[in-house]
Amino acid sequence: MLFSSTLLVGQNYVKRSYDLEAFSEINASFIYEIDVYRGDSHTLELDIPEELQDDLEIRVTNNTLNLGVTRKEWWRTAKSALGNRYKVKARVIMPVLEGIELSNLASLYMRDGFTPANFWVRMTGASNATVNVMTHAANIDINGASTLEISGLATITKAYVNGASTLLYKQETEQIELQAGGASTVIMKGSSISAGLTVSGASQIKAADFITEKMDLRCSGASGADVHVSGKIGVTAVGASRVHIKGNPGFTKTVSRGASSINTY
């Protein structure tokens, strides 16, 4: 791994450029703000607050670009970065992006679309990401107070959304299995042939603009779901959950218990 370093006088930032061995996944934590572009090389450029230039850890292992901070006195680095609202800005160029893992306050934005065979994303903390992929299988797992916006195409999508996270799902897919729990929010636009949605806690699914031919929907707790189904739907609502169904579908099953309700419009 080679890099050159240049002090940007007057801005108190250091610029570093890296030529890296091949990688197809990104794992970032802490205060990285990453722009990802599709290209033939595996390169990384960083704009680093001068005060943090010796506190970063950059390495490629097991086909993954890891962007983090050194373990030595990491608490001092965190205190300095958060107190001064520092961000480490990163520009990544890579041919294929197959997965991302973000934690703490890390953020990632795909500036070009990618077409991996399969794609996965895991997010925790208050991380944030915007991605555009065309793939066979998409696997999404977000927790904490994370926010993910995903668009493009997928044959199969499996999504798990928990905590106070937000998922903005804008894909066309043939099949989606989604579980939303905690106080999470899922907003969906696009379409699917089939969908299995499980909503619990105080989570909400807003999918009136996501047209599904057939759906199995299960709501519990104080959750809510607003869905659009053109063919058949099976619904189970318990607790104080609320279900609103658009599209005048046929019902294969309706179960309502407690203070729950199922309405069509």
The model's pLDDT over 173-229, given as tens digits with 9 standing for 90+, comes to 999 999 999 999 999 999 999 999 999 999 999 999 999 999 999 999 999 999 999
**CA neighbor of 60 nearest in space, from 89, 92, 36, 108:** 92
Give the confidence band of 10 by pLDDT, cuts at 50, 70, 90: very low
Same domain flag for 143 and 262: yes
If you ran DSSP here, which 8-state letter would residue 15 be given? Answer: E
- 29 and 61 housed in the same domain: yes
- CATH assignment of the domain containing 214: 2.160.20.120
Report the distance separating Cα 258 and Cα 256, nearest Å: 7
| Same domain for 109 and 121 | no
**Cα→Cα distances 189→113, 131, 213, 234, Å:** 18, 15, 14, 21
Phi-psi region of 182 (alpha: psi -120 to 50; beta: other; left: phi over 0): left
State whether 54 and 161 are in the same domain.
Answer: no
The tokens for 234 are 């099976």
* Judgement on whether residues 85 and 74 belong to the same structural domain of the protein: yes
Domain check: are 144 and 203 in the same one?
yes
212 and 185, same domain (yes or no): yes
- The per-residue pLDDT for range 255-264, each reduced to its tens digit, is 999 999 999 9
Domain boundary among 93, 114, 135: 114
Q: What is the mean pLDDT of residues 5-17?
A: 70
> Which pLDDT value is given to residue 31?
85
- Can you tell me the mean pLDDT for 133-151? 98
Question: What's the structural domain count of the chain?
Answer: 2
Q: pTM of the entire structure?
A: 0.93
In terms of domains, do 168 and 75 share one? no
Q: Is 152 left (phi over 0), alpha (psi -120 to 50) or beta?
A: left
Domain C-terminal end among 99, 114, 129 = 114
Q: β-strands 64-69, 56-61: how paired? A: antiparallel
Claim to verify: residue 151 and residue 256 sit in the same structural domain: yes
Residue 69: band (very low, low, confident or very high) from pLDDT cuts 50, 70, 90: confident
Per-residue CA distances from 214 to 57, 151, 196, 229 (Å): 48, 21, 9, 6
Residues 11 and 102 in one domain: yes
Strand intervals (E) in 20-127? 25-28, 32-38, 43-49, 56-61, 64-69, 88-94, 99-102, 107-110, 118-123
Q: Which domain holds residue 120?
A: 115-265
- 63 in the same domain as 28: yes
